[in-house]
Amino acid sequence: MKRLKVNLDEIQKATEDIEREAFEYFLDKETGDVVILSEDIIAKARVVLADFFDEDVADFDEIESDEDYTMPEWIEDEVELALDIFVREQDRYVRIPERRSGAGYEAMRKFAEGLKNAVLKGELDEILEGKGAFRKFKDALEGHPKEKKQWYTLNARSARGEILKWLASAGIEPDKNGGNDGTPDQPKL
């Protein structure tokens, strides 16, 4: 397993974006950086790929700017990065998955089961049986700052545990001595 300095906070933010309507997230397995690509850049990369990829020889020609191919340099750099991720250096990058909704639901259920506040516990149990549980659950905690803080702590630990499992499946072990990996302690579930 490769030890790598990663920022678990950044990875967690990526996993929490479950809609993926505007961005895609990748982990650079050489640097530990989280790479964020907008859907616009990915679309431009697809156009460039279609123009510069020869299926007969399965070869990708380098992009060379000419009169027909004009875009600002920063966009060209982003497109080049997208092409690295999708074509040239596929083994270097791994897509960061969305957090499973079931995992979030399990964390909410675990939290509700452990509550000492019987009234809030009953309210959360009822919410968890209906539709729109995620939003209603968070809304129900608004008037309970102590429990809200406990929820966010438990949820973060749960998410970190999932991230650590995902990293292990990608052959990566976070280097806790190499800098800020986003976690002060190993999460306990």
Among residues 3, 1, 12, the alpha carbon closest in space to that of 34 is found at: 12
Q: In sequence order, what are the beta bridge partners of 21?
A: none
Q: Mind listing the pLDDT tens digit for each residue in 156-179?
A: 999 999 999 999 999 999 987 654
The position carrying tokens 């809304």 is 139
- Quick: pLDDT tens for 115-157: 999 999 999 999 999 888 989 999 999 999 999 999 999 999 9
pTM above 0.85, yes or no: no
Look at the block and give the residue holding tokens 């973060």. Answer: 156
